[in-house]
Amino acid sequence: MNRVLPQVTGTPRILLGGLALAFLGIAVTFVLDPYRNYQLAIVAAYFCATAGLSVLVGLTGQLSLGHAALMAAGGYGYALAASLVDGMADGGPGTSGDEGTSVVRVLAGLAGAVVVSGVLGLLLGLAGARLRGPYLAGLTLALVIALPAVTAVLRGVLGGDQGLRAPYEDVPPALERLVALEQWHAWIAILAASVAATGLVLLRRSRAGLQMRAVHGDETAARLSGVPAGRVKVVAFVASAVSAGLGGAVLCLVTQSVSPGAYSLAFSLLLVVAAVVGGLGSLGGAAVGSAVVVLLPWLIESVTTALDLPADLQQRLSGNLAVLVFGALLVVVTLAWPGGAAGALAARRAARSQQPPLTER
Amino acid sequence: MDRLVFLLATGVARGAVFALFALSLVIVWRAARVVNFAQGAMAVVAVFVAFGVTAATGSYWLGLGSALLTGAVLGVVVERGVMNHVPAGNPLPGMIVAIGLVMVLQSGLGMLFGPQHRPMAAPFDERPFQVGGVPVLSPYDVFVLVVAVVVMGVLALLFTRTSLGLQLRASAFAPEVSRLLGVRVPRMLTIGWVLSSAVAALAALLLVPTELGLNAHSADMLFVHAFTVAVVGGLDSPVGALLGGLVVGVLMTLVTGYLGATVAPVAVLVLLATVLLVRPAGIFAAIEARQA
Amino acid sequence: MTALLTIESLAVGYGGAPVIASLDLAVEEGTVVALLGANGAGKTTLLRTVSGLITPRGGRILLDGDDLAGVAVEDRARCGLAQVPEGRSVVAELTVEENLQLGALWRHRRRAERRVAVDEMYELFEPLARRRSSAGHQLSGGERQMLALARALVAEPRVLLLDEPSLGLAPRVVAQLLAVIRGTVDRTGLTVLLAEQNVTSALSVADRGVVLGLGEVVADAPAAELAADPALRHAYLGF
């Protein structure tokens, strides 16, 4: 990777890298069937949240058990903003559907997602800066468990258990014969994922990123060196929240709906699994983790269906078996390979070149 | 007014259960310096065992005994088998491993027992007594209060008046010095986990009959409530757990009674956020200075 | 007299750097050996290794002929090897009485025996008797050190390791503590390894003085000799 175009370094290099990955992703969508493209879009959405969480935990040591709630915030923000724009369009809601995708609507939705998830992230970040690890984790746990209740209490705006609907974005007329719907959605998801990834990498390499690592390593020493530890932790939290919010917005766009049931505690824990298995702090790891978390349940489901088990057992295994495997993975990976997949890869590479391994890609 | 009295009384009974569960969190926090996020899931396993035993033998008391036993065994298994291997110093791996345990335990229960809520019968009547025409507490509520008070009293005596309790406290306050004095600190750690897990199992067992039914996720809200109690009372303070339990129990029952059950999780969240932001050490936190 | 505590070719290090290179030391039963040397010479490391808190890289530690390798810290204590670590080792959250009870627990399982042992300590350390219900953090520096010492002695150890007991204490208090230690040694045949920076006080109660420099023994002589010989003192102790 470092041998390609070595003369380009720093921020331009990262931006180019993000673009390259986006193009690569888009190219891939051409060889996948519609269902796979749908899965790809879901993986990309999960990646946004996982990457944010991974950077948050890996860089500042703050564990959030409620990132699903931040995704939900993004989803609701998207739905509210996009629907608002839709309502303001000539002829009322739904009339712009025939014209493919309304860029204004999508951008408005994304802006809404960023704002809502950013504000929630700011509040949590401010709390987290003052709290020690377990307390923040407990707070975020309470948040994600309270999500259904929050939507019920604010039923007027948030629609309770039913949730909200988001406008349908069809393939633009110009590309209609070239690209299927799922592929189009996958493109949007991949673009969002590249933006999130690029942003996080830039953050990691920036002065703020250095400060975060200093605070994580030894907070007292960092404070003594003049690092504003509290502010640094808040910045990290907001960044990870916005990233998760983007992921939620993408999910909302692809499924045209957002509801509390889709963002449960189980989902939050799944994001933790993805981040840990991939390797905390590593974006490549986050990608691997997200893929595992989306594809493994599907794989397990296929296997159990193929085994032709009695319907009752089938019912009980569905969902639960995947969670069991993930829970076991979480325990085993944390105890045996704390660096996750990325850490193991880095160690192998280091052993081969006999250099001390870098801890993140 | 009648309603208020009833809610207050029920709140106290509910609070006793929260206090008991919070106490189990305090015990394991003091012993291992870890917030056991898996406490609820472990407790639910024990309640399932109790449910099975009661169904098979027809005796609630055998079920209760088996819940305590299961809790104790789980405490040993989790501590020796999992938590012992977690690197110390950094609280993060311990939390992540506990989360993993929650997932394993809850999905395991889901696979064995399915998603339905199984109603659990209480050993005593759940309809409230009437005092001067005003419904106050039910026989079951009284039972819960008595059990909670007795258990807390026994634990207090254990910790403050017995040599085992002295060793447990010393191992928690100063593990290295205790070892130098011949105290078997690793064994004390395991005993701490055992006590904590058994008490949590008891608390969950007392709670479930008053809820919709037994299910793999029965203890999620209990954990959040108890965590809030531990935060309000101070993770380091057993007395805080007791007082915090009463406060949270009464508050929650009032909220549920006047605003409806759907609002409860939001109320807990608000309370938790408020206490964490205003006084993270807890309102009744231990005043003793921890000077070396 | 036989050596109760024998250290052979001990090597201790953290990471790449050895703190103790190869140390040999024999402590005879019923004597006080003063372990002297500047900060960083390895005194604390040595004591912590003997107690089992640090695992050595090489060499052996023998208590009455038995190799202590693989023996856990708490089991070494139960063999009669007591240590009063450096600094505030009193359990601050427990009372004086509780600290003493804690110290006596492994030796005296029965309440009545423990009572006798603890009361003996109150006789030996009068100020502690007056403060028996006070919590550790309410005691003065001198009282705390007294308590730490009493807590180690209450279990009637065979070997007592003391790490800088005089740190932060007034000379009068130091003298009292050392007098108690010497008295106990003479009365009961206790063996003491006393790590100290306060050379004069240490040598005044010791039978032998061992000087550590950069993890090695650089001088090993009877205490009186070390105290009296200015050349020796100057070379190894810097004054």
pLDDT in tens, C180-198: 999 999 999 999 999 988 8
- Within-domain flag for B288: no
Chain C interface mutation, best of B180, B184, B287, highest count of C Cβ atoms under 10 Å = B180
Q: Give chain B's residues under pLDDT 70.
A: 132-133, 280-292
Q: Please name the member of B104, B220, B269 whose beta carbon is closest to the beta carbon of A328.
A: B104
- Within-domain flag for B69: yes
Give residue A358's pLDDT: 56
Q: Measured between alpha carbons, how far is B52 from B48 in angstroms, rounded to an integer?
A: 6
Give residue C232's pLDDT: 62
Residue pLDDT, tens place only, B224-235: 888 888 888 888
Domain ranges of chain C: 3-237
Three-state secondary structure of chain B? CHHHHHHHHHHHHHHHHHHHHHHHHHHHHHHHCCCCCCHHHHHHHHHHHHHHHHHHHCCHHHHHHHHHHHHHHHHHHHHHHCHHHCCCCCHHHHHHHHHHHHHHHHHHHHHHHCCCCECCCCCCCCCCCEECCEECCCHHHHHHHHHHHHHHHHHHHHHHHCHHHHHHHHHHHCHHHHHHCCCCHHHHHHHHHHHHHHHHHHHHHHHHHHCCCECCCCHHHHHHHHHHHHHHHCCCCHHHHHHHHHHHHHHHHHHHHHHCHHHHHHHHHHHHHHHHHHCCCCCCCCCCCCCC
- Within-domain flag for B194: yes
The alpha carbon of residue B41 is apart from the nearest alpha carbon of chain A, in Å, by 13
Q: Measured between alpha carbons, how far is A139 from A128 in angstroms, rounded to an integer?
A: 9
- Within-domain flag for B275: no
Chain B interface mutation, best of C73, C101, C161, C163, highest count of B Cβ atoms under 10 Å = C73
B97 to A320: CB separation less than 8 angstroms, yes or no: no
Give residue C234's pLDDT: 66
Q: Please name the member of A145, A322, A334 whose beta carbon is closest to the beta carbon of B265.
A: A145
Q: Name the packing angle between helices A320-336 and A283-306 (round to 10°).
A: 140
Chain B interface mutation, best of A270, A334, A335, A337, highest count of B Cβ atoms under 10 Å = A334
The alpha carbon of residue B157 is apart from the nearest alpha carbon of chain C, in Å, by 15
Query: Hey, which residues 118-177 in chain C have their CB within 8 Å of chain B?
Result: 135, 137, 151-152, 155
Q: Please name the member of B93, B96, B101 whose beta carbon is closest to the beta carbon of A272.
A: B96
Q: Which chains touch B (3 or more CB pairs under 8 A)?
A: A, C
**The token pair that represents A169 in the structure block:** 């974005």
**ipTM for the whole complex:** 0.92
Query: Is some CB atom of chain B closer than 8 A to the CB atom of C51?
Result: yes
B107 to A321: CB separation less than 8 angstroms, yes or no: yes
The alpha carbon of residue C162 is apart from the nearest alpha carbon of chain B, in Å, by 12
Give residue A1's pLDDT: 55
C74 to B183: CB separation less than 8 angstroms, yes or no: yes
Asked whether C and B share 3 or more beta-carbon pairs under 8 angstroms, the answer is yes
What DSSP line would sit under A179-231, residue for residue?
--HHHHHHHHHHHHHHHHHHHHHHHHHSHHHHHHHHHHH-HHHHHHTT--HHH
- Its pTM stands at 0.86
A141 to B85: CB separation less than 8 angstroms, yes or no: no
User: Greatest CA separation found in chain C?
Assistant: 54
Please determine, looking at this structure, whether the domain spanning C3-237 carries the CATH number 3.40.50.300: yes
**Residue that is written with structure tokens 């405490």 in the block:** B75
Cα A145 to the chain's mean position, in Å? Answer: 19
> pLDDT at residue A100 above 70?
no
A133 to B106: CB separation less than 8 angstroms, yes or no: no
A65 to B277: CB separation less than 8 angstroms, yes or no: no
B chain contacts of residue C135, beta-carbon cutoff 8 Å: 288
Q: What is the mean pLDDT of chain A?
A: 84
Burial of B88 per CB tally in 10 Å (0-12, 13-18, 19+): exposed
Residue A235 near residue A111, CB atoms below 8 Å = no
Residue B117 near residue B214, CB atoms below 8 Å = yes
Query: Hey, which residues 25-64 in chain B have their CB within 8 Å of chain A?
Result: 34-35, 37
A134 to B220: CB separation less than 8 angstroms, yes or no: no
Query: Is some CB atom of chain A closer than 8 A to the CB atom of B266?
Result: yes
Which residues pair with residue C25 across a beta bridge?
Answer: C7
Percent of chain C with pLDDT over 90: 58
Give residue A85's pLDDT: 83
Q: Please name the member of B265, B268, B276 whose beta carbon is closest to the beta carbon of A135.
A: B276
Which residues pair with residue C35 across a beta bridge?
Answer: C195, C210
Long-range contacts of C65-69 (CB under 8 A, 24+ apart): C65/C6
The alpha carbon of residue B164 is apart from the nearest alpha carbon of chain C, in Å, by 10
The contact set of B with C (CB < 8 A) is 163, 166-167, 169-170, 173-174, 176-185, 288-292
Percent of chain C with pLDDT over 70: 96
> pLDDT at residue A320 above 80?
yes
> In terms of Cα–Cα distance, which of B177, B214, B265, B175 is closest to B47?
B214
Query: Is some CB atom of chain A closer than 8 A to the CB atom of B106?
Result: yes
Q: Which domain does B199 fall in, by range?
A: 12-114+126-217
Q: Please name the member of B166, B167, B181 whose beta carbon is closest to the beta carbon of C77.
A: B181
Residue pLDDT, tens place only, A209-266: 888 777 777 777 777 777 777 888 899 999 999 999 999 999 999 998 898 988 988 8
Query: Hey, which residues 52-111 in chain C have their CB within 8 Å of chain B?
Result: 53, 72-74, 77-78, 82-83, 85, 87-89, 91-94, 98, 101-103, 105-107
Query: Is some CB atom of chain A closer than 8 A to the CB atom of B111?
Result: yes
> pLDDT at residue C235 above 80?
no
Residue pLDDT, tens place only, A152-203: 888 888 888 888 888 888 777 777 777 888 888 888 899 999 999 998 988 8
Percent of chain A with pLDDT over 90: 31
Q: Is A245 helix (H, G, I), strand (E, B) or coil?
A: helix
Give residue C238's pLDDT: 64
Buried b (16+ CB within 10 A) or exposed e, B176-200: ebbbbbbbbbbebbbbbbbbbbbbb
Give residue B291's pLDDT: 26
Give residue B166's pLDDT: 94
Q: Who contacts A163 (Cβ-Cβ below 8 Å, separation ≥6)?
A: A79, A151, A257, A258, A259, A260, A261, A262
Residue C136 near residue B177, CB atoms below 8 Å = no
Q: Which of A7-16, C116-125, C193-202 has the lowest mean pLDDT?
A: A7-16
Residue C106 near residue C155, CB atoms below 8 Å = yes
Q: Which chains touch A (3 or more CB pairs under 8 A)?
A: B
B95 to A133: CB separation less than 8 angstroms, yes or no: yes
Region C111-138 average pLDDT: 92
pLDDT confidence band for A96 (50 / 70 / 90): very low
A chain contacts of residue B269, beta-carbon cutoff 8 Å: 142-143, 146, 150
What is the domain count for chain B? Answer: 1
> pLDDT at residue A360 above 60?
no
Region C93-121 average pLDDT: 93
Give residue B288's pLDDT: 34
Asked whether A and C share 3 or more beta-carbon pairs under 8 angstroms, the answer is no
Percent of chain A with pLDDT over 70: 92
> In terms of Cα–Cα distance, which of A293, A321, A295, A294 is closest to A307?
A321
Q: Measured between alpha carbons, how far is A118 from A245 in angstroms, rounded to an integer?
A: 8
B100 to A329: CB separation less than 8 angstroms, yes or no: yes
Q: Please name the member of A61, A153, A327 whose beta carbon is closest to the beta carbon of B103.
A: A327
pLDDT confidence band for A361 (50 / 70 / 90): very low
Query: Hey, which residues 314-353 in chain A have their CB within 8 Å of chain B?
Result: 315-317, 319-324, 326-331, 334-335, 338
Residue pLDDT, tens place only, C207-219: 999 988 777 888 8
